[in-house]
Amino acid sequence: MKSYDAVVIGAGPGGYVCAIRLAQLGKKTAIIEKEKIGGVCLNVGCIPSKALIFGATQFHRAQHDFEEIGIGFKSLDCDLSKLQNWKDGVVKKLTGGVTQLLKMNQVDVLTGTASFKDGRTIEVKGKSNETVTAASFVIATGSRVVEIPTLPFNHKNILDSTETLELKTLPKKLIVVGGGFIGVEIGMAYAKLGSEVTIVEAMAEILPGTDRELVSVVEKKMRKMGITVLTQAKAMGSRQLNQGSEVELEIEMGGKKEMKTANRILVSVGRRPNSDQIGLEKLGMKLDPKGNVIVDSQGKTSVSGIFAIGDITGPPQLAHRASMDGLIVAAVIGGENAHKDYKVVPWAIFSDPEIATVGLTEKEAQAKGIKFKIGKFPFAASGRALSTNETEGMVKVLIDESNESILGVHMVGPEVSNLIAEAALAIEMGACVEDIIRTIHTHPTLPEAFPEAIESAFGKSIHIFKPPAKPK
């Protein structure tokens, strides 16, 4: 039996970050992973999907956008198998790097499935067959895809997101069941590579919960790309055709049924926490009705000495939130009085164009009774956006009328997944209008759109004209 100061269960972006920080704080630490170091994010989620999206975007731009700026090609094709190999190489470099970092920080890596025997003991079965004890445990087991009872995965042509990201041949027809961010991202990527894509969403709109003004820009691009979007549509079942090379999906819309044929169906309707596989029932740990582990502001569960971070604690299920959770919990175990007092958690959708948002939406601000101004600046007026031929979208800023603080920032356009970081910092530190507009932004760059959007709320943007408000 091995004994540690702290044991982390799960080596995703929450777990490995927590383990490294614990080791840096002088704690004898082990991390348990049943599959691959890096978890879903590095191996089959964030990183490989963005690599595939990047490759697909370059191919699509070369086909449709480069001629406009004087760059032509006599012939152009995409070797999907080679693209997948490059993507896998990116993943291997990152996961290999994390493995080396764990080793350099003297974190013991145990490979296998972990299960609590009691509140101080875990049994590991797999490549590492160990029983370990610790003063503190951190549960970072993440989440897994939800399977629809009427459309079970057959791992041949009814696939989850992991399998869809690994396709070596391009499906002529791809149906995406679920119009959330994963479905939209992967659907648009394959449409760029040449697939005929249909997105089926049960709700009244795709990307539900996202600012409609932002989503409408993406929907416009989808129509231009030939993607079919069916909303208020339910996937009712399927049957195999042509010796299983094709599959027919039954869709119900407005009380009527319709059949759609595809080579592949991606089912992406959400994720569920991995809280049912590690023996938590033996501990009497408190979970919410959806199976999420209930934690306090320090990441503590209802069982003394056991913490939980990331997806297993509920939304937002984001890698960067999990990483910050891990740092906070490591600090608490290390003796600091740290708390998860996140003012905001930014997030991004890698659609085309990208969507990124942080802080309050208009609906949320209205529900809180906050009076606010709205400022907008279109990328069509940005010198940098024009010079890169990517002018779709805008930056929208919500400003508190009472003190001119930044309430929320919502973007759709080129590289907004990067631009949102400045907005997140501004809200987190309580920046006001003057702080942003008096900060010199490099020219010509996309971040110049942020202060311009703020200025437009007061009718003072330089690079767009907004008529002064008429006196009441």
- The catalytic residues are 443
CA-CA distance, 2 to 133, in Å (whole number)? 6
CA-CA distance, 206 to 112, in Å (whole number)? 38
Tokens of 189: 């990527």
Helix (H) or strand (E) holding 199: strand 196-201
Is the C-alpha dihedral spanning 428, 434, 437, 440 positive or negative?
negative
Tokens of 63: 């086909």
Q: Which residue has the tokens 């740092």?
A: 327
CA-CA distance, 384 to 452, in Å (whole number)? 14
CA-CA distance, 310 to 319, in Å (whole number)? 7
For strands 233-241 and 158-159, give the pairing: unpaired
Helix (H) or strand (E) holding 5: strand 2-9
Q: Which residue has the tokens 């090379």?
A: 245
CA-CA distance, 106 to 39, in Å (whole number)? 20
Helix (H) or strand (E) holding 354: strand 354-359
CA-CA distance, 276 to 385, in Å (whole number)? 48
Tokens of 77: 């094709």
Q: How many CB atoms lie within 10 A of CB 445?
A: 14
Under 8 Å between Cβ of 90 and 48: yes
DSSP for 376-420?
EEEGGG-HHHHHTT----EEEEEEETTT-BEEEEEEEETTHHHHH
Q: How many CB atoms lie within 10 A of CB 19?
A: 30
DSSP for 135-161?
EEEEE---EEEPPBTTB---SSSEE-H
Cα 63 off chain centre by: 28
Q: Is the peptide bond before 48 cis (omega within 30 degrees of 0)?
A: no
What angle, rounded to 10 degrees, do the helices at 80-104 and 46-64 form? 150
CA-CA distance, 191 to 218, in Å (whole number)? 14
